[in-house]
Amino acid sequence: MENPIIILPWAFERDAPPFEGNDIKFPESLARHIIKKHSKKGDKIFDPFAGLGTTLFVAEELKRIPFGIEAEGQKFEWVAGQLENWTHMICDDTACLDKYDLPKMDLVLTSPPYMPRHHKWNPLFGGDPKHAGYDKYLKRMGFIFGKISKVMKKNAPLIIQVDNLHHGKTFTPLVRDIANTLDKNFIQTNEQIVKWDNPKQDYPFTNLLYFKKK
């Protein structure tokens, strides 16, 4: 069994773009640890919420083949502009991934957009008031991961980095809630804590959820 706690460097190797800080990113050390451990050269690595492309850049550095989807045009362009495999990058809502002819992936590594449960603004619908609220966010998350499962090889690992959220007195158990949305299509195989070796005082650790496709 894998160690339930691992320690990784808290450091960002690539400058953030002028329009976005490093706040939404996980460190390259996390992507490198997972990709080395759970894939081999030539494997197809998919990040369906690509953000600033950490998974994709590290996959390319390790001679894997990156595929990514990012809904926001500015981030999409910034990432695609720096990838060798830029044609594997899609700018769209991941819920629509079956519009594209994606190959079957060997590993999915991602971190989804977060939503505190007392908020109405649902990031998976760009804040559309018709889809407001935490329940709709979780339902959509399950729907999107159902689509993601369709482009994964059987038994391929899905690894999600996610945090519980504390806002004043309100606590959002996002780690548990996201894991529960995946029940239909995935089996959870592990859960791990990543401690940062030099943490920002307010962010000492994060969580990794491991699944395999049913």
Ligand X SMILES: C[S@@+](CC[C@H](N)C(=O)[O-])C[C@H]1O[C@@H](n2cnc3c(N)ncnc32)[C@H](O)[C@@H]1O
The candidate with the shortest Cα–Cα distance to 14, out of 83, 104, 64, is: 83
Tell me how far, at minimum, the Cβ of 165 lies from ligand X, in Å.
12
State which residue, 71 or 154, has the beta carbon closest to ligand X. Answer: 71
- Count of residues making up the chain: 214
Tell me how far, at minimum, the Cβ of 127 lies from ligand X, in Å.
11
User: 3-state class of 158 per DSSP?
Assistant: strand
State which residue, 65 or 162, has the beta carbon closest to ligand X. Answer: 162
Half-sphere exposure of 155 (CA within 13 A, CB side): 1
The candidate with the shortest Cα–Cα distance to 44, out of 21, 28, 31, 60, is: 60
State which residue, 15 or 154, has the beta carbon closest to ligand X. Answer: 15
Contact positions vs ligand X (CB under 6 A): 24-26, 49, 51-54, 69-72, 75, 93-95, 111, 113, 123-124
Tell me how far, at minimum, the Cβ of 200 lies from ligand X, in Å.
16
State which residue, 76 or 186, has the beta carbon closest to ligand X. Answer: 76
Tokens linked to 13: 């190797």
